[in-house]
Structure 1
């Protein structure tokens, strides 16, 4: 029903405009337009106006959106619409008179032109107000959504803080219950506690890259404890990476992905180095010919990483993921 209304609206507008022109033109001069002209004559005047109303409506729709996008002043905005109305009005009057074999008289043009400009100006103002109202409504809904998202994020952040605190305290309790001679379990808990502490107190702000590297080294050592003895690990961190700042925990999903899905020859290679103003992080792990389903889809962790990079480093990062027959390669480049 709405589409039908939109399709007929320009034609309806053209008919109303034609009636007003006839009233404004004929009543003061006591003309009898409907009685004095044939149906064929009237149709030749009405149909071109109806047909012209559709491109005119399209022009108005395009122009109102363009003006809002470019911030064009109201005088220029309405000036363009008036010029279009004058041009189309003149063409329509000349064309209808030509089809009916009547010479266009200069004195016949002012009233139709004035009425046409007023009508088109009114319709454009109505369309403009509707567009502004819709944009305002969309803005309002977006603002409400942002507020709701912020509230949900804050709630999740508070919950996320509670759980690590609880787990951190539980780890300390377990740590002191383990006998001192059991060095491996105690060392494992120490590493896990350090990792939790880093995650807990480095949520959003940038950190020095050397702190992130220390975290990655502990994270890698924790994974090594649970990995097979067949694992061959090559790790390189550029010594030039010290005081530079990055957002925390961006590299963890790539390291986790490598350890989680390493297969075949069980070889993992991790390189992090600085080149000019860019940080390069390269991870490579061997895989079997038949990948697990999650790595075939790049994993949830990598998908979340992509979203974080879009928010934290818009247009300042590249993430290249390449799968070969027995290798899975990822390279992340950040502009510092």
Structure 2
């Protein structure tokens, strides 16, 4: 009888010890899990902070290359067509104001960017004959709230426009450049198309700078809120850019930026 009681007490004690060990183990695992989660959050925060800094440095580097590159192209255009210098210089003044002041901002309004692009087009006109077919259209819903809000990256439109004038066939009878700006449903659209020249220009060391810069800027700034399509159709090069500014703003607000 005593033996049975002793065995029973022993088993009871062992059970209690086992339960205590199990509880301690559970609490230890919970502590480790919480600590791991805290470390993971800390790591993610540090990673996100580092990513923002790296992207900021990339943008600064890209933009520091972009402005002199554009300015050099403009001056070359004016220098080669001195007879139209007065008109070109008038437009150049507007472009320079934008480059010096507005482009230093992180964002400008779609209205400001489109006005800048139209001035840039006027300067590029001096490269082509008065008989050359240059179509410029704007389809703008100015009543939309985001049209006047600083939410569009400055100088985001110049690469597609500069490329058209650089690679268009300016001598062919059916040559043309078409540039269409649209702003609707809180989206910025730019469609540029041109007849491809048969005369291939010599490849330069810095060729493709604008195109690479545009792709990188769009990816860094707008992430999945943009679409850039480039394709050739019947000897016509077409580039179409769409930026969903409403979705981008919603994501920025949600992220607290």
Distance 1:290 1:147, change over 3 A: same
Distance 1:143 1:293, change over 3 A: farther
- The aligned runs of 1:212-251 (5 Å cut-off) are 212-227=113-128, 231-238=132-139, 241=142, 244-245=147-148, 247=152, 248-251=154-157
How many angstroms apart in 2 are the aligned matches of 1:122 and 1:302?
55
Tell me by how many angstroms 1:327 deviates: 1.9
Aligned residue-pair number: 213
Check 1:133–1:259 CA distance in 2 against 1; reply closer, same or farther (3 A cut): same
Secondary structure of the residue that 2:136 maps to in structure 1? strand
Question: Tell me, what secondary structure is at the counterpart of 1:238?
Answer: strand
Q: 1:143 aligns with which of 32, 49, 57?
A: 49
How much has 1:255 moved relative to structure 2? 0.8
Among candidates 22, 26, 31, match of residue 125 of structure 1: 31
Matched residues in 2 for 1:312 and 1:154: separation?
A: 9
In structure 2, relative to structure 1, the CA distance for the partners of 1:118 and 1:208 (3 Å cut) is closer
- SS of structure 2 residue aligned to 1:206: coil
- Report which structure shows greater RCO (CA 8 Å, sep ≥6): 2
Secondary structure class of the residue paired with 2:164:
helix
Computing the radius of gyration from Cα coordinates, the structure with the larger value is 1
Go from structure 1 to structure 2 and tell me whether the alpha carbon gap of 1:308 and 1:154 turns closer, same or farther (over 3 Å shift): closer
Which of 104, 109, 114 is the equivalent residue of 1:207?
109
Structure 1 equivalent of residue 5 of structure 2: none
**Whole-angstrom distance in 1 between the partners of 2:182 and 2:16:** 76
Q: Which has the higher helix share?
A: 1
Residue number among 167, 182, 185 corresponding to 1:261 in the alignment:
167
Is the contact made by 1:271 and 1:281 (CA closer than 8 Å) also made in structure 2?
Answer: yes
Deviation at 1:239, TM superposition (A): 6.6
- Partners of 2:240 and 2:226 in 1: CA distance: 10
Tell me which moved more, 253-262 or 269-278. 269-278
TM-score (norm 2): 0.59
- Per-residue CA distance 1:125-145 (angstroms, 9 max, x = gap): 235424523542453365356
Structure 1 gaps of 5+ residues are 1-27, 30-104, 176-181
What is residue 285 of structure 1 aligned with on the other side? Answer: 194
**Where does structure 2 lack aligned partners over 5 or more consecutive residues?**
1-8, 246-257
* Contact 1:270–1:281, Cα closer than 8 Å, also in 2: yes
Alignment RMSD (CA, Å): 4.6
